[in-house]
Structure 1
Amino acid sequence: MATEVLLGRAEEGPPPEPPTIQKAAVASEADGTMPGPPAHSPEALTWDPYSLVEQLGYRQKPSAITYQTLERMFWQLPILGAIRKTRTDQVASFCQSQRPAHEPGFRIRLREMHREPDEIEKQRMLELEDLITHTGYTTDPRSRDSFETLVRKLMHDSLTYDQMNLEIVPDARGIPSTWYAVDASTIRLADTTSLHADTSMDNVYAVQVYDDIVINEFTRRDLTFTIRNPRTSIRSYGYGTSEAEMMVSTITYLLWGLQYNGNQFSQGNVSKGLLNIKGSIPEKQLRAFRRQWYQMVNGVENAFRTPIINAEDVEWINMHASNREMEYSQWLDFLIKVACAVYSIDPIEINFKYGSGGGQKNMFDSANKTKIVESKTKGLAPLLRYVENMMNENIVWCIDPRFTFEFTGLSPMTAKEQADLETMKVRTYMTVDEIRAMHDLPALPDELGKVINDPNWMQGRRDFLLRQQIEEGDPTAVKEERIIREDEESEKDLFRPKKSPTKKSYKATPRRAPQTQTLKKSKEAVILDMTL
């Protein structure tokens, strides 16, 4: 398989030649244009030296909410679960290898974007894509998680705890061979004697904890510990802050609101009315009536039990004038919008459609489509870049720094809008070959694609090449230039305004006799002939 070839190639023969980027970095450092190693370690504090969260050999996350509580919050509140699932599904839709850049997926490309890859580099790119699709070296893809499954696990932890952990298992040469998603709720940052940032790749960086007992230790090479919301606070101890922790009060109010409205159908602490039977009635008969009433009109789970008392007359006292308590829906809508704002997602993406005044609107309105596009640009794009950086820094660049991993197809424009934009580009400042290179297509033969598809540019280019040929003494070019000039002169004559013709002088001619006199004479001659 491609993965076997990729990881087994260097074992046969001499090691591969250093990539171009590494050569450039070494050369720049040698001539003094790039910085060298740091002269000393950083001096600023990274965490609180008097903290009590390091007593067990690792730094505990400074939060009153535990990992288990955060997970339960998502299970108990469907709004949070819907947000997490929506974003996870959206990121997972980009986990298929795609060659066209405008389709959702991922691809491997050269970091040097100014040049085209050769055939060997193209084969290497395919091998890297196959390696990522199968999450590392494998002889049978069915024995491993796919890239989509891996990303779904990582997104679950990141959106819940703001923590993503990936264990990387190297091969015999130290190159990443396989990688696995690790339960983020069991990973803690290790305690160190240094109060400053520890950048060593060989020291213990993180540990795995089970029942408050350290069971595994990892270095930076073995485990990734990435967060989306970093802080500079020395009391954060290197941990991030999840969105669920940012809105503890909002989540509490949402739970209370749902519980309050739910209890109206299950508990009903306050009766909706009171039945007063006026007058005297035997106690035995009253108990029988009460039993029969409760059997017929009790609420769900014995809710809203109607009090029955004995008085002089039968009277119904209404204690539940209307169901205006459901106006709490506006309060719940506000809390939902706050939760969506913290997660950078529009409520319409989780099927809550609000108009400008709070009313519902059609999901397929043009305004709502724009909201969805903006929501993905604001919330989905950072998640994809987050995964890109994690894959590049810990896997792809460690295998071959000439290439980079990137997601494709996140353009807010449709395919037609993208084609129209490229048509405008190829008519202004980009050549046809450059547009084809954006779609991983080869250049046109005979340099036919090294042109800007604009008539003025093409005419100027032709004139420039013609002048060069004339200067070189090409007789064909001289003849062609003469033909072009004749054509230009004929075009000028065609559009040149013509002179008005001169007026001719006419001599006066004798006036002819009226036609009526001739007809009269002819008539008289005919009559004379008839009389004779």
Structure 2
Amino acid sequence: MPSSVPDTMELVRYVAEQFEAQQFEKAFTKPNVIPFPSRAVREKAPGMQSVWIDEQRVQVMGDWVERPSNFSFDMMRTMVDQTPVLSAVMLTRQRQVRRFCRAQAGGKGPGFQIKLKDETLKLGKDEAQSIQLLEGFFTNCGWESNPRQRARLKRDNFSNFMSKLVRDTLTMDSAAIETEYKRDRSRGLDGLYAVDGATIRLCTEVGYRGDDEIFALQVVEGMIRSAYTYNDLIYVPRNPRSDVLSAGYGMAETELLVRVVTGYLNAFTYNTKYFDSNAIPKGLLHLAGDYGQDDLNAFRRYWNSMIKGINNAWSLPIMVSKNGESKAQFERLNADVDEIMFAKWMTFLTSIICAIYGMAPDEINFESFTAGTSSLSGSDTEEKLINSKDKGLRPLLAYFEDLFSDYVVAEFGDKYCFRWTGLDDVTPAQAWEEEKALSTLNEARKARGWDEIKEDWGNAPLNPNLMGAYMQANQPQGDEPDGGQPGGDGDDDLAKSFGLPVLRVEP
């Protein structure tokens, strides 16, 4: 066969490979199908190929993107500060979350703990030491345990750290966490800081000045003060949206309550003005008789000093006639304060605010709009927490639980996770019944950190139904009759006790 045949086969193979590569590239980019592809498709970048931000419609301020709303972060904060009900919601949630900011190694009671993801694995000595160190890291928001040194670093303890994040996420859905690494970044995280969420602005797909690793900026008074990469800042909205106009920002509850809060403030202001700035007279005083002008002026001054309120409220006009036949008829100009106008209206608006935040009005000491009895009307604080946690507290804690597990604990190992404790469905009374059914006295004392009882009765079960089996298992051996071997001395004694003759067969 001519020598040119192998060369031709090699050429055919090369052409076939190039054709396959072109077909694959054509299927990936689809240049003829998509006239306006996303940036990821154009640049053949890995990850999400769809458009997640509409740069043509969002408000791009040079190097960052503003929230697609006229309701700014500062306005949200002002609304919360000026609305007593919203402030009560924020403070109540902050106080509730503070209860969970203590490490609970035993996993009982409100707190947090670091656990193995795979609960079937046995906790070894090294894992137990790592868990203890990680719990200390969260308690101090870093490895520095000296409070004065933490103050120099502007680093909070875990309780204050969570209070800041809870208020920011409930007010603006913008809870930002700055992560500080050690100088040798390979050694991992060194500390966590709560950043003002109102100053965080997200960048477009191209990043900050072409650096797509920088995804967020800190903007204070229109000036860029810090730039954050994905390793420097944790910014995950609690209420995410797939809307291309959201630009990556979350949806704050305060945005949904603008009209409700406006109605609440209007009613609150009107109710306040009714008592201190109401210039409409309640009635008219009619005096009959021949009084001098000096006497009338003196009476008017005395009367007004006695009844007039702040800003001339409740001022009373005075009319004088020469005889009793002269009359003046009073026409009502306004209605008195109506309970339906204020009490029920305020209760209705408060119930809407609490519903948006997943909170029962009873938690902020406010009556519910419905006439039914609330499950939170008990006197036990623990019972109130258990009944209300599923509405708003548990989702809020679950958000932070996922946040810390994915972005903080994962930096130290993929076999650990962050978990809150004390949120189970078991009441304290039920937990004690379960412990009593399965534990001994020493086990119960050990779980509480108490010294064990040295005597044998310390190992007795707490369950009275198991006490009989325990006493039988620990009965001394001498108390049991020993019949001996068949044909032995025990049988002779038994026969003698019944008066029977003893017969022996000697071998």
Is the structural similarity TM-score above 0.5?
yes
**Do the aligned partners of 2:93 and 2:393 also contact (CA within 8 Å) in 1?**
yes
**Do the aligned partners of 1:187 and 1:206 also contact (CA within 8 Å) in 2?**
yes
SS at structure 2 position matched to 1:405: strand
**Do the aligned partners of 1:353 and 1:363 also contact (CA within 8 Å) in 2?**
no
**Do the aligned partners of 1:201 and 1:220 also contact (CA within 8 Å) in 2?**
no
What residue is the counterpart of 1:308 in the other structure?
318
2:204 corresponds to which letter in structure 1? D
The offset of 1:185, in angstroms, is 0.8
Counterparts of residues 97-496 of structure 1 (less than 5 Å)? 97-138=103-144, 140-144=146-150, 145-171=156-182, 172-174=184-186, 175-193=188-206, 203-277=213-287, 286-310=296-320, 313=326, 317=330, 319=332, 323-327=336-340, 328-354=342-368, 357=371, 363-364=377-378, 372-421=385-434
Matched, 1:65 2:74: no
1:229-279 residue CA offsets vs partner (Å, 9 max, x unmatched)? 111111111111111111111111111111111111110142211234467
**Do the aligned partners of 1:363 and 1:369 also contact (CA within 8 Å) in 2?**
no
**Do the aligned partners of 1:276 and 1:308 also contact (CA within 8 Å) in 2?**
yes
1:17-49 residue CA offsets vs partner (Å, 9 max, x unmatched)? xxxxxxxxxxxxxxxxxxxxx994433221222
Please list every run of 5 or more consecutive structure 1 residues that lacks an aligned counterpart in the other structure.
1-37, 428-434, 441-452, 459-532
d(CA) in 2 for partners of 1:41, 1:396: 24
TM-score (norm 1): 0.67
The offset of 1:405, in angstroms, is 1.3
SS at structure 1 position matched to 2:338: helix
SS at structure 2 position matched to 1:149: helix
Please list every run of 5 or more consecutive structure 2 residues that lacks an aligned counterpart in the other structure.
1-43, 151-155, 450-462, 470-507
What residue is the counterpart of 1:503 in the other structure?
none
What residue is the counterpart of 2:16 in the other structure?
none
Q: Summarize the Cα distance change of 1:63–1:283 in structure 2 as closer, same or farther, 3 Å threshold.
A: farther
What residue is the counterpart of 2:91 in the other structure?
85
d(CA) in 2 for partners of 1:117, 1:362: 39
The offset of 1:53, in angstroms, is 1.1
What residue is the counterpart of 1:448 in the other structure?
none
Counterparts of residues 15-34 of structure 1 (less than 5 Å)? none
**Do the aligned partners of 2:218 and 2:224 also contact (CA within 8 Å) in 1?**
yes
The offset of 1:360, in angstroms, is 9.2
Q: Summarize the Cα distance change of 1:260–1:39 in structure 2 as closer, same or farther, 3 Å threshold.
A: closer
Q: Summarize the Cα distance change of 1:207–1:311 in structure 2 as closer, same or farther, 3 Å threshold.
A: farther
TM-score (norm 2): 0.70
d(CA) in 1 for partners of 2:288, 2:226: 77
Per chain length, whose mean CA-contact separation is higher, i.e. which structure has more relative contact order (CA < 8 Å, sep 6+)? 1
2:301 corresponds to which letter in structure 1? R
What residue is the counterpart of 1:484 in the other structure?
none
1:93-139 residue CA offsets vs partner (Å, 9 max, x unmatched)? 10101112221111111112111111111111111111111111226
The offset of 1:285, in angstroms, is 5.0
Percent identical: 30
d(CA) in 2 for partners of 1:74, 1:165: 19
Q: How many pairs were matched up?
A: 403
d(CA) in 1 for partners of 2:378, 2:167: 29
d(CA) in 2 for partners of 1:359, 1:139: 47
The offset of 1:192, in angstroms, is 3.2
1:258 corresponds to which letter in structure 2? F
Q: Summarize the Cα distance change of 1:308–1:211 in structure 2 as closer, same or farther, 3 Å threshold.
A: same
What residue is the counterpart of 2:481 in the other structure?
none
d(CA) in 2 for partners of 1:45, 1:311: 83
1:383-416 residue CA offsets vs partner (Å, 9 max, x unmatched)? 1111111212221111222211111111232122
1:399 corresponds to which letter in structure 2? F
Q: Summarize the Cα distance change of 1:362–1:60 in structure 2 as closer, same or farther, 3 Å threshold.
A: closer
Matched, 1:42 2:48: yes
1:397 corresponds to which letter in structure 2? A
The offset of 1:319, in angstroms, is 3.1
**Do the aligned partners of 1:346 and 1:371 also contact (CA within 8 Å) in 2?**
no
The offset of 1:221, in angstroms, is 0.5
The offset of 1:297, in angstroms, is 1.4
Q: Summarize the Cα distance change of 1:439–1:63 in structure 2 as closer, same or farther, 3 Å threshold.
A: farther
d(CA) in 2 for partners of 1:126, 1:360: 41
2:121 corresponds to which letter in structure 1? R
The offset of 1:361, in angstroms, is 9.9
Q: Summarize the Cα distance change of 1:201–1:89 in structure 2 as closer, same or farther, 3 Å threshold.
A: farther
